[in-house]
Amino acid sequence: MADTPARIVVTRRMPPAVEERLAASGLDVAFNEDDRLFTRADTIRALQEADGILLAVGDPLDGPLLDAEGRRRTQIIANFGVGVNHIDLDAARDRGVIVTNTPGVLTDATADTAMMLILQATRRASEMEMQLRRGEWGGFSPTAQLGMSVQGKTLGVIGMGRIGAATARRAVLGFGMRAIYFNRSAVGPWDLPAEARPSIEAVMEEADVVTLHAPGGGANRGLISAERIARMKPTAYLVNTARGDVIDETALVAALVAGRIAGAGLDVFAHEPEVPAELVALANVTLLPHIGSATLETRTAMGMLAADNLIAHFRGEPLPSRVV
Ligand code: 8YV
pLDDT tens-place string over residues 54-97: 999 999 999 999 999 999 999 999 999 999 999 999 999 999 99
Q: Nearest 5°: phi and psi at 320? A: -65, -35
Domain assignment present for residue 253? The answer is: yes
Q: What is the pLDDT of residue 136?
A: 98
Given this model, what pLDDT does residue 79 score? 98
> Are 215 and 259 members of one domain?
yes
Q: Is the distance from CB of 78 to CB of 320 less than 8 angstroms? A: no
Which of 78-115 are b and which e, b meaning 16 or more Cβ less than 10 Å from the residue's Cβ?
A: bbbbbbbbbbbbebbeeeebbbbbbbebbbbbbbbbbb
How high is the mean pLDDT of the chain? Answer: 97
C-alpha closest to that of 113 among 261, 196, 213: 213
Query: Across residues 203-212, what is the average pLDDT?
Result: 99
- Does residue 321 sit within a domain? no
pLDDT(2) > 60: no
Rounded Cα gap, residues 196 and 198, in angstroms: 7
Ligand 1 proximity of 105 Cβ (cutoff 6 Å): no
175 and 226, same domain (yes or no): yes
CA–centroid distance, residue 81 to ligand 1 (Å): 4
Residue at 320 is within a domain: no
Which atom of ligand 1 lies nearest, measured to the CA of 84?
A: 6
- C-alpha angle 10/288/203, rounded to 5°? 110
Q: What is the pLDDT of residue 229?
A: 98
The total of structural domains in the chain comes to 2
Asked if residues 310 and 52 have their Cβ atoms less than 8 Å apart, the reply is yes
Q: What confidence tens digit (pLDDT) does each residue in 148-203 have? A: 999 999 999 999 999 999 999 999 999 999 999 999 999 999 999 999 999 999 99
Q: What is the pLDDT of residue 210?
A: 99
Select which of 272, 278, 315, 322 is catalytic.
272
State residue 52 phi and psi, 5-degree precision: -145, 145
Give the residue, by CA position, lying nearest to ligand 1 atom 3: 293
**pLDDT for res 81:** 98
- What are the strands of the beta sheet with 237-240, ordered from one edge? 194-196, 178-182, 154-158, 209-212, 237-240, 263-266, 285-287
Q: Is residue 136 located within the same domain as residue 171?
A: yes
Whether 60 and 39 have beta carbons less than 8 Å apart is answered as no
| Residue 120 belongs to domain spanning | 107-287
Q: What is the DSSP letter of 134?
A: T
256 plus 181 within the same structural domain = yes
The finding on whether 81 has its CB within 6 A of some atom of ligand 1 is yes
Q: Where residue 84 sits, what CATH number does that domain have?
A: 3.40.50.720
**CB of 161 shorter than 6 A to ligand 1:** no
Does 1 score more than 60 pLDDT?
Answer: no
Average pLDDT over residues 223-241: 98
Is 290 noted as a catalytic residue in this protein? Answer: yes
User: Do 149 and 282 share a domain, yes or no?
Assistant: yes
Over range 1-14, report the average pLDDT: 89
Q: What is the pLDDT of residues 118-158, one digit of tens each?
A: 999 999 999 999 999 999 999 999 999 999 999 999 999 99
**Cα 287 to ligand 1 centroid, rounded to whole Å:** 16
Segment (H or E) for 168: helix 162-169
- Shared-domain flag, residues 279 and 243: yes
Asked whether 57 lines ligand 1 (CB < 6 A), one says yes
From residue 122, how far is each of 46, 54, 147, 275 by CA, in Å? Answer: 45, 38, 6, 21
pLDDT bin (cut points 50, 70, 90) of residue 3 is: confident
Taking the CB of residue 70, how many other CB atoms lie within 10 A of it?
A: 6
- In angstroms, the CA 288 to CA 294 distance is 11
What CA–CA distance (Å, rounded) separates 268 from 240? 7
Query: Is residue 235 domain-shared with residue 168, that is, in the same domain?
Result: yes
Percentage of the chain exceeding pLDDT 70: 99
How far is the centre of ligand 1, averaged over its atoms, from the C-alpha of 126 (Å)? Answer: 23
56 lines ligand 1 (CB under 6 A): yes
Query: Could you tell me if 119 and 176 lie in one domain?
Result: yes
Q: What does the alpha-carbon distance between residue 132 and residue 319 come to, in Å, rounded to a whole number?
A: 50
- Entry pTM: 0.96
Strands annotated E in the chain = 7-10, 28-30, 52-55, 76-79, 98-100, 154-158, 178-182, 194-196, 209-212, 237-240, 263-266, 285-287
Nearest residue (CA) to ligand 1, atom 1: 81
User: Could you tell me if 125 and 199 lie in one domain?
Assistant: yes
- Total count of residues recorded for the chain: 324
